[in-house]
Structure 1
Amino acid sequence: MSDTNPIFVGMDLGTFKTSVASSTGYRDVLQTAVGWPKDHIARTMLGRDVVFGKDLVEHRLALDIVRPFEKGSLKYVEAASTGMSADQIKRHQLATRLIIEYAVARVRPEPGRPIYGVIGVPSRASMVNKRFIMEAASAVFDGIAVVSEPFTIAYGMNRLSDALVVDIGAGTTDLCPIYGVYPSDEEQVTIPLGGDHIDEELEKTLQATYPDVQASRNMVREMKERYGFVNSVSESAVVNLTINGRPRPFDITEPLKSACRVIVEPLVEAIRDMIGKFDPEFQARLRQNIILGGGGSQLKGLDRVIEQGLVEFGGGKVTKVPDAAYAGAVGALKLAMGMPAQGWTQLRASTAATASTPTTPTTTTEKHSLAV
């Protein structure tokens, strides 16, 4: 890297939330969403054309809100399989670019200083998906590396050997074995299951249990984040919900547990399958070093339930990341700051080779894309 005094940025571009950390000391978490005023009245009230962050919740009734990665669309699955029209895809692409630009702008980079960033994506994101992220980020980064989200978690925790990282996001869950080198795509797994699916299940279960209750998707998500659990608990989850506009307390303990457990069986099965693909000696080490990351890792009792599911396979030990909100971004930042100059050039060369275009030496003025 020939640029001097660059700013490094680590970004976990999540389905529901994006976290960012920079070498300037800045950290933040924002919704992975963009809102556009529905009409000129909303535009006049808001005083702007595009809305981000907390204002998305406060003014959601006045906004057309786009979550570009909902259920993995554009970031994990191919655009053609999302069922979206060409205009919708373009709108999602624009939303992605605006989110990245907004997140980097909040780092408040000094004019003239180059910005190098590492962005985390699902384990099995295709080259098309990675290139889409790189193109969206090209306006604000002088160099980017697109890497597996679980790998950034492991890198940030210095767990670079004999570990299995399970990153439970809103739209997908990623599994990545770590054994001292960057894992190949074939060794990683992404399953289309995460927090969004729990929200949908909880919404349906609440409707079946209390047919007259009124609860929005945002309310359902807040219930899950505050009370979500998968094991037996001694406490009840009681929340105030409305019927015909009148608030009343409701016990949601059983509906909540039932909804949260929809991810348990497929998650345990995926862990078993991945571990089973390695040599028996390595299997034992992986089972004893399973790391849970992502927002879904915070479900109470999930680590213990996974351990119970591994008992007949020799047992295991599951550890939750200490800071689920920033683990991916901090690891991505650490990876960016520790990357040697030749590493950036090499990554760029591999991307260029994939795109069948000639490579040239990096200069201080040219923008370049880097993909792992």
Structure 2
Amino acid sequence: RVVGSSGTSKENKFEKTYPTVVGYARDAIVDGVLPSQDKIFFGDDAVKFRSYLELKKPLSHGQVSDIAAAKGFFTYIRNQITQDTDNEVCVVLGVPSSTDEKAHDTLKNIATGIFDRMLLIPTPFLAALGFRDESKLNNSDYTDPIKHSLFVDIGAGSTDLCLIKGYYPKQEDQNNLRNAGDQIDSVFADSIQRQYPDTKLSITKVREIKEQCAYVGELQNGVMTKVLVNGKPKNIDVGSLVGNACNQYLSELINTTVQLVTRVHSDSVEQILQNIVICGGGSQISNIAPEVQRLLLEQGYEYPKVTTVGKNYQNLVALGAWKVARSTPSEKWQHL
């Protein structure tokens, strides 16, 4: 997702969240079905009119998967900010952990001619900056997320992990799992189809159900949701299905987390383990922080403490990007 922001040096204002999706009108659409003569729709409009569109994701597993869609989406975002070509528009892009130079070059090439300057920053680091409350830094009981923490950003296409040590992360401070919410959706959809073969749910509907019901830990039954089967409403129990899908993902997440923890110097590993923060859409999975903490204890780690960023997770990366943009001198930006 992309969140637009604006503000003065003393305030910030987050204007809108845009789903990162592009929709192309299907062939032979009857006039008047779509709200305009446009053949391409972006963000919320693409989601709203998805029945008449072929949806494309500019990103897959955190990497550019469709250059044309990505370029169109960048242009759309630029136009939401300003259509005046005389205005300089700078962009801070959150990139997956461990993104290589080739991926950086791809983003730079796509952004050229649309934006004027750019910065590429690992998404978990931006989330940590956004989560930081500068008004509390002098409080002795406040834990600064920029010092000795591990941020786990669970998105749609990838999970990005980053050790935060008070400075911009190096490559060895990052780890990436190319599975996340989309994988949960796929496993969950397959399970529903096997158990309830009469249902023909779109992946969008499966995602909506997951976002309402997702949890990790001991399997639960009796989690009912209403779906349409042959046009008729039917209540189905998705408790064990969504739980299995989420737990399968969680097993991979723990392995990836442990891999990163093993890189931490012994002098700071205790502090890191006591400040693990889960952000991104996956932070809203019920019971995820206690379950990650329990599984780390099972792995033999002493006194881990795992929390989530709360309900305001969508704005954190944008807020972190805004802070970076304000504090970065002109010569540090990449000119496009």
TM-score tier, shorter chain, comes to: 0.7 to 0.9
Percent identical across equivalent pairs?
29
The separation in 1 between residues aligned to 2:304 and 2:98, in whole angstroms, is: 25
Q: What is residue 123 of structure 2 aligned with on the other side?
A: 149
Matched-pair contact (CA < 8 Å) for 1:307–1:317: yes
- Are 1:175 and 2:161 matched, yes or no? yes
Q: What is residue 3 of structure 2 aligned with on the other side?
A: 19
* Deviation of 1:107 (Å): 2.6
Q: What is residue 139 of structure 2 aligned with on the other side?
A: none
| Correspondence list, 1:62-141, <5 A | 62-74=52-64, 92-108=66-82, 112-141=86-115
Residue deviations 1:73-126 (CA, integer Å, cap 9, x gap): 436xxxxxxxxxxxxxxxx21110111221232234766332222110101111
- Are 1:325 and 2:302 matched, yes or no? no
Matched-pair contact (CA < 8 Å) for 1:115–1:143: yes
Q: Tell me the C-alpha RMSD between the 2 structures.
A: 2.1
Cα distance change of structure 1 residues 168 and 327 upon mapping to structure 2, 3 Å threshold = same
The residue identity in structure 1 corresponding to 2:212 is R
* Deviation of 1:327 (Å): 1.1
Deviates more, 1:170-179 or 1:244-253: 244-253
Q: What is residue 303 of structure 1 aligned with on the other side?
A: 289
Q: Unpaired segments of 5 or more residues in structure 2?
A: 133-144
The separation in 2 between residues aligned to 1:284 and 1:119, in whole angstroms, is: 31
Matched-pair contact (CA < 8 Å) for 1:201–1:259: yes
* Deviation of 1:233 (Å): 8.0
* Deviation of 1:251 (Å): 1.5
The TM-score, its normalising length taken from structure 1, stands at 0.79
Higher relative CO (Cα under 8 Å, sequence separation at least 6) belongs to: 1
The TM-score, its normalising length taken from structure 2, stands at 0.87
Matched-pair contact (CA < 8 Å) for 1:166–1:290: yes
The separation in 2 between residues aligned to 1:152 and 1:222, in whole angstroms, is: 27
Deviates more, 1:58-67 or 1:250-259: 58-67
The separation in 2 between residues aligned to 1:265 and 1:233, in whole angstroms, is: 15
Matched-pair contact (CA < 8 Å) for 1:68–1:95: yes
The separation in 1 between residues aligned to 2:110 and 2:31, in whole angstroms, is: 25
The separation in 1 between residues aligned to 2:160 and 2:213, in whole angstroms, is: 23
Matched-pair contact (CA < 8 Å) for 1:214–1:241: no
Matched-pair contact (CA < 8 Å) for 1:123–1:149: yes
The separation in 1 between residues aligned to 2:221 and 2:82, in whole angstroms, is: 44
* Deviation of 1:248 (Å): 1.0
Q: Secondary structure at the match of 2:215?
A: coil
Residue deviations 1:279-302 (CA, integer Å, cap 9, x gap): 222111100111111111110110
The residue identity in structure 2 corresponding to 1:318 is V
Deviates more, 1:151-160 or 1:195-204: 151-160
- Are 1:193 and 2:179 matched, yes or no? yes
The separation in 1 between residues aligned to 2:270 and 2:208, in whole angstroms, is: 37
Residue deviations 1:134-188 (CA, integer Å, cap 9, x gap): 2222223221001111111112223221011111111110111011221211321
Aligned length: 315
The separation in 2 between residues aligned to 1:36 and 1:273, in whole angstroms, is: 41
Matched-pair contact (CA < 8 Å) for 2:221–2:237: no
Q: Secondary structure at the match of 2:87?
A: coil
The separation in 2 between residues aligned to 1:50 and 1:243, in whole angstroms, is: 31
The separation in 1 between residues aligned to 2:83 and 2:6, in whole angstroms, is: 10
